[in-house]
Amino acid sequence: MDHKRGSFSGKIGFVLSAAGASVGLGNIWRFPYLAAKYGGAIFLLVYIILAMTFGYTMIIAETSIGRMTGKSPVGAYKSFSDKPALRVGGWINAIIPILIVPYYSVIGGWVIKYLAEYLMGKAHLVAEDGYFSSFISNGVSSELCFLVFTAMTLAIIFAGVENGIERVSKVLMPLLFFMMLILIVRGLMLPGAMKGVEFLFKPDLSAFTGESLLNAMGFAFFSLSVGSGSQMNYGSYLSDRVHLPSSVSWIVFLAILSAILGGLMIMPAVFAFGLSPDAGPGLTFATMPAVFAQLPFGHFFAITFYVCLFVAALTSSISILEMSVQFLHDEFNISRPAGVTITGSILAVLGTLCALSFGTLSHVTIFGKSFFDFFDYLTSNIGMPIGVIGIAIVTAWLAWPTTVNQLSLVKPVSGFFLKSYRVMAGIFAPILILVVMLKGLGVF
Task: Name which of 197, 286, 258 is nearest 28 in CA terms.
Answer: 258
pTM, two decimals, is: 0.87
Q: Each residue of 5-36: pLDDT tens digit?
A: 567 777 888 887 777 766 677 777 788 888 88
Q: Each residue of 67-124: pLDDT tens digit?
A: 998 888 888 888 877 777 667 878 888 888 889 999 999 999 999 999 999 999 998 8
CA distances from 12 to 90, 249, 253, 439, 444 (A): 28, 13, 14, 37, 42
Q: Each residue of 233-271: pLDDT tens digit?
A: 888 888 888 999 999 999 999 889 888 988 998 899 889
Q: What is the pLDDT of residue 3?
A: 45
Residues in the chain: 444
Q: Decide: residue 252, CB within 10 A, 0-12 exposed, 13-18 middle, 19+ buried.
A: buried
Q: What is the DSSP letter of 366?
A: B
d(CA 319, CA 334): 19
Q: What is the pLDDT of residue 282?
A: 73
Q: In this structure, what are the phi and psi dihedrals at residue 366, rounded to the nearest 5 degrees?
A: -120, 115
Query: Which residue numbers in the chain have pLDDT < 70?
Result: 1-6, 21-23, 85-86, 161-164, 279-281
Q: What is the pLDDT of residue 366?
A: 95
d(CA 198, CA 209): 19
**Cβ–Cβ contacts within 10 Å for residue 158, how many?**
16
